[in-house]
Amino acid sequence: MIYIAPSLLAADFANLESDVKRIASAGANYLHLDVMDGAFVPNISFGAPVIAALRPHSKLIFDVHLMINDPIRYIDDFIKAGADIITIHLESCPDPLKVLKMIRAREVRCALAISPATPVEKIIPFLPEIDMALIMTVVPGFGGQSLILETLEKVRTVKRYAVSQGLKLDIQVDGGLKPENVHLATEAGANIIVAGSAVFGAKRPRAVIAAMRESAAKHPYKG
Ligand code: DX5
Ligand code: ZN
């Protein structure tokens, strides 16, 4: 099953509640929440209070992508705010495993992300410990960038490893994805597709989500 996770970063910040409801009724499965601290990445987005404010208005799976330094400081805040999944960056802290275990111990799905500059070998040892691997398909920090095609080889490597080890692992891709290129990600083994500008920027998000699903279904991972 392919899941579509629109990124709130591309929503209308003056009308978050109605925008979230709009993409939920357009068929989204997850709400991807990009938290940026202006240090791990150059941009600042929003934090736990915004997520907590949206929580009562949506049944979507809240997928919190932390692009912040030393995420361990804020894990409990994001769990209290209503996160269903918390993704930390491998590059953001000295001991990612400690943070991942902390998230899991609180019965929230834990995930690890790697930026385009990080070799895929670095994430492999963590795969048995996580619920989802996030392969960044753009340099984190901004929405609306173009997909970096070379990153999809990492998706394939992670998928192959997961299959060979019998791991139940979701593989998420994030950045530059749209109906025209989503098949490249699903063919490589991704099953959770983040899309910010493609979905929130569309006049008819339902049609965009449906087109992504259709293309993904036609191009499954075949090994
Ligand atoms: C980038 C963020 C992405 C971004 C995706 O740092 O992690 O989630 O919002 O936006 P699009 O789909 O517009 O590339
Ligand atoms: Zn993201």
Residue 223 per-residue DSSP state: -
Long-range contacts, 213-218 (Cβ 8 Å, 24+): 213/2, 213/4, 213/27, 215/179, 215/182, 215/183, 215/186, 216/2, 216/182, 216/183, 216/186, 217/2, 218/183
How far is 152 from 168, CA to CA, in rounded Å? 19
Percent of the chain whose predicted confidence (pLDDT) is above 90? 100
* CB of residue 6 inside a 6 A radius of ligand 1: no
Ligand nearest to the CA of 115: 1
Per the model's pLDDT, the better-predicted residue between 97 and 223 turns out to be 97
Q: Are the C-beta atoms of 191 and 2 separated by less than 8 Å? A: yes
What is the mean predicted confidence (pLDDT) over 192-202? 98
**Beta strands per DSSP E along the chain:** 3-6, 30-36, 61-67, 85-89, 109-114, 132-136, 170-174, 192-195
- Ligand 1 center–CA 36 separation, angstroms: 11
Q: Produce one character per residue of 75-98: b if its CB has 16 or more CB atoms within 10 Å, e if not.
A: beebbebbbebbbbbbbbbeebee
| Residues involved in catalysis | 34, 174
pTM, two decimal places: 0.98
Residue 77 CA to ligand 1 centre (angstroms):
22
Does ligand 1 have an atom closer than 6 angstroms to the CB of 37? no
What's the CATH number for 3-218? 3.20.20.70
When the pLDDT of each residue in the chain is averaged and rounded to a whole number, the result is: 98
Taking the CB of residue 31, how many other CB atoms lie within 10 A of it?
Answer: 24
37-84 pLDDT tens trace: 999 999 999 999 999 999 999 999 999 999 999 999 999 999 999 999
Confidence class of residue 183 from pLDDT cuts 50, 70 and 90? very high
Average pLDDT, integer, range 199-208: 97
The structure tokens 């098949």 sit at: 183
DSSP 28: -
Mean local confidence (pLDDT), 159-171? 98
Atom index in ligand 1 nearest the CA of residue 196 equals 12
The distance from CA 60 to its chain's CA centroid, rounded to whole angstroms, is 14
Which of 45, 64, 174 is the pocket-test mutation for ligand 1 (most atoms within 8 Å of CB)?
174
Which of the four pLDDT bands, split at 50, 70 and 90, describes residue 188?
very high
Residue linked to tokens 């929230």: 108
208 touches ligand 1 (CB under 6 Å): no
- Residues 6-34 pLDDT 10s: 999 999 999 999 999 999 999 999 999 99
Which residues lie across from 7 on neighbouring strands?
32
Locate the domains of the chain by residue range.
3-218
Give the integer Cα–Cα distance in Å for 101 and 176. Answer: 30
Q: Is 63 in the pocket of ligand 1 (CB under 6 A)?
A: no
